[in-house]
Amino acid sequence: MTPSDWPLELVVADTVALTAEIRSLRLKAIDGGPLPAFSAGAHLTFQVDLGGGATLPGAMETSRPGERCYSLVNSTDQSDYYEIAVKLETAGSGGSRFMHALRPGDRIRTTLPKNDFPLHHDPHEAILIAGGIGITPILSMTAELGKRSAAFRLHYASRSPETMAYRARITQLCGERGHLYFDYGDPSQGMPLAEVIGQPAMNRHLYVCGPRPLLDAVIATARALQWPPSHVHFELFGAPVAQTGNRPCRVVLQRSGLTLDVPAGKSILDAMIDAGTDPLFDCRRGECSVCAVRVLSGTPEHRDYALSDDDREHLMCVCVSRAQEGELVLDA
């Protein structure tokens, strides 16, 4: 991204440790003025340094630029600040460590707010499901639904009370409509999804944000209960990681005349970028289908959430999907 892609320069006004791993940051405009408006479910993309901690004047650290997305937590009518929360990923590539190292007075550049996970515009009953740090966009939605006097229920799961962020705020916003679940490391003690989701209806919409296992389970349960896909809204929190059992695969890009040997820990999309091609992409999580490429031969292992069954007969999302076996030939 170029400097013009980072139109906002914000200053860290405050940071608070919510749990041992999760820290909230309150960000304000440099001049203290109002910030661009956003809608519930929106996020900011931050310019981060993956070389270590926050880059301070005179520092001699090795800088490796990157970007990370974090959802806005606060209510949409609080225009003088943005609030985000970041979980420290010790095995990650450094983005969360950079964010955790920020202190009051530090500055950081961001994009304008963008919303890929909006509330449905018509009046409806909302079922909100969050896991772990996925609570952040759901909290903003909860505040917005409260302002609308809309019917909603919030279901939030974490390993233990000590690892659950924003418990007090949930109680304040939701009262008896907020339901908390702790499995203490035993998935069988987790959220009873079929009971929580319930039967579909024209005026009911389901929203879920959290780690991939929760997302997969909620979508599968909603499908089994015959919820229409248009009433199931989701956001996968965090970038995808290599799944256990990933195998290297060979991908032939027919139009480019390239053959790529893609290692288990790399996506086909990243291999295409490293090879000097210029593929279209956006979310990198299999949610938007911007990166979808026509499959000329071979059998993909589809891991996206965007393509229909008919689409999957001839397309694959190269940001997350791989080859089931053998070689893939793509129209790229």
62 shares its domain with 7? yes
258 shares its domain with 224? no
For the chain, what's the residue count? Answer: 332
For residue 118, being part of any structural domain is answered with no
Dihedral over Cα of 214, 217, 221, 227: its sign: positive
Beta bridge partners of 28: 11
For residue 140, being part of any structural domain is answered with yes
Each residue of 294-315: pLDDT tens digit?
999 999 999 888 888 889 999 9
134 shares its domain with 208? yes
Tell me the C-alpha distance between 163 and 183, whole Å: 11
153 shares its domain with 198? yes
Q: What pLDDT, on the 0 to 100 scale, is given for residue 212?
A: 85
Tell me the C-alpha distance between 267 and 143, whole Å: 37
For residue 77, being part of any structural domain is answered with yes
8 shares its domain with 106? yes
Tell me the C-alpha distance between 243 and 286, whole Å: 14
For the chain, the farthest-separated pair of C-alpha atoms sits apart, in whole angstroms, at: 60
226 shares its domain with 253? no
Helices 135-147/167-174 angle, 10° precision: 20
Of the residues 76, 110, 144, which one is the last residue of a structural domain?
Answer: 110
For residue 27, being part of any structural domain is answered with yes
For residue 100, being part of any structural domain is answered with yes
91 shares its domain with 130? no
199 shares its domain with 291? no
Residue whose token pair is 């999580």: 285
202 shares its domain with 231? yes
220 shares its domain with 262? no
Of the residues 77, 110, 143, which one is the last residue of a structural domain?
Answer: 110
Each residue of 130-173: pLDDT tens digit?
999 999 999 999 999 999 999 999 999 999 999 999 999 999 99
Q: CATH number, domain at 46?
A: 2.40.30.10
Residues 6+ apart with CB under 8 A from 222: 197, 200, 206, 232
Tell me the C-alpha distance between 107 and 10, whole Å: 6
Per 3-state DSSP, the chain is made up of helix, strand and coil in percentages (nearest 5) of 20, 30, 45
Q: CATH number, domain at 316?
A: 3.10.20.30
Q: What pLDDT, on the 0 to 100 scale, is given for residue 238?
A: 56
15 shares its domain with 93? yes
Question: In the structure encoding, which two tokens stand for residue 110, read together?
Answer: 């961001």
Domain that holds residue 321: 249-330
Tell me the C-alpha distance between 19 and 16, whole Å: 9
Is the pLDDT score of 207 beyond 50? yes
For residue 231, being part of any structural domain is answered with yes
Of the residues 78, 110, 142, which one is the last residue of a structural domain?
Answer: 110
**Prediction pTM value:** 0.80
Is the pLDDT score of 72 beyond 50? yes
100 shares its domain with 182? no
Q: Give the chain's domain count.
A: 3
Q: What pLDDT, on the 0 to 100 scale, is given for residue 64?
A: 60
Higher pLDDT: 231 or 245? It is 231
Beta bridge partners of 66: 48
Give the chain's end-to-end CA distance (angstroms, integer): 23
Measured CA angle at 112 (ends 111, 116), to 5 deg: 100
Beta bridge partners of 234: 208
Is the pLDDT score of 245 beyond 60? yes
